[in-house]
Amino acid sequence: MAIVNRTTDSFYDQGATWAEDAALRRVDEVVAAGAEIVDIGGIKAAPGEEVGEAEERSRVVDLVAAVRERHPDVIISVDTWRASVGAAVCAVGADLLNDAWGGADPELVDVAAEFDVGIVCTHTGGVPVRTRPHRMEYDDVVASVIDDTTAYAERAERAGVARDRIVVDPAHDFGKQTWHSLEVTRRLDELVALGRPVLVSLSNKDFVGESLDLPVDQRLTGTLAATAISSWHGAMIYRVHEVTETRHVLDMVSTIQGHRLPARTLRGLV
């Protein structure tokens, strides 16, 4: 899942794909690099400029329509918590609603059911939309992730979303300090064991930066290490900035596990 930001203030790309033509070029590039999903977002997750419902729609709806026409086979995800925005993007071809804020708008599941699309159910520990966590405490962060994402997923099913279209996301950094995100990564197999597809959004996150004492633009290696661990534990979807490097890591882990054949095996034979 490749990230495509229609924002002026993304923490990583700093507005590099704000212009629609730049966003479309980014989509072309990531699809060519092997992305199977593009995740389009119109609002920075962290605190920042206020983006109202109408402005968010203006940033993402036309882009979704253009991507749908340009890449008919790619899965289009939209990062939004608003049901009204979800309905607008689904009407022009979105396949997946990526709710990074854990059901802040309870009607989003109804939109997913109405349009027969997928939904990502995240764990945020109950923090308000677009706020940073402060002194979050859990008796067991993984148990909280399991309980909250399961409850959200079951609510989506009751609303009419097909079970095989429901994804869960432990949401690294969201409602968590670094120790929490590290523990979630270490014990990700417990979430995978529940049988629902697991998405991880690890790319250049603060838990990587704090672990290695590195700024945002130097976190790729740490991100890929966390990706390899998550892959070994069975995560299915990876929301990323760097598609090619992530694809290589996932293919290598799959090959080591015996699920994928090496591209060639000539060493010692010729």
- List alpha helices for the chain, DSSP H: 20-32, 53-70, 83-91, 108-115, 141-159, 178-186, 188-192, 206-212, 220-233, 243-257
Task: Provide the sign of the torsion angle of the four alpha carbons 115, 22, 18, 134, taken in this order.
Answer: positive
Containing H/E element for 78? strand 75-79
Angstrom distance (rounded) from CA 36 to CA 78: 14
Query: Which member of 57, 176, 196, 239 is catalytic?
Result: 239
Quick check: 218 and 185 in contact, CB under 8 A?
Answer: no
Asked if 176 is an active-site residue, the reply is no
- Report the b/e string of 202-231 with b at 16+ CB within 10 A: bbbbbbbbbbeeeeeeebbebbbbbbbbbb
Could you write out the DSSP letters of every residue in 1-15? -EEEE--S--TTTTT
**Residue type at 42 in one-letter notation:** G
Task: Indicate which residue of 57, 196, 205, 219 is catalytic.
Answer: 205
Buried-state track 32-55, b at ≥16 Cβ within 10 A, e below 16: eeebebbbbbbbbbeeeeebeeee
First to last CA, the chain: 38
Query: Cα 149–154–155 angle (5° rounding)?
Result: 100
Q: Is 239 a catalytic residue?
A: yes
Question: Which residues are the active-site residues?
Answer: 205, 239
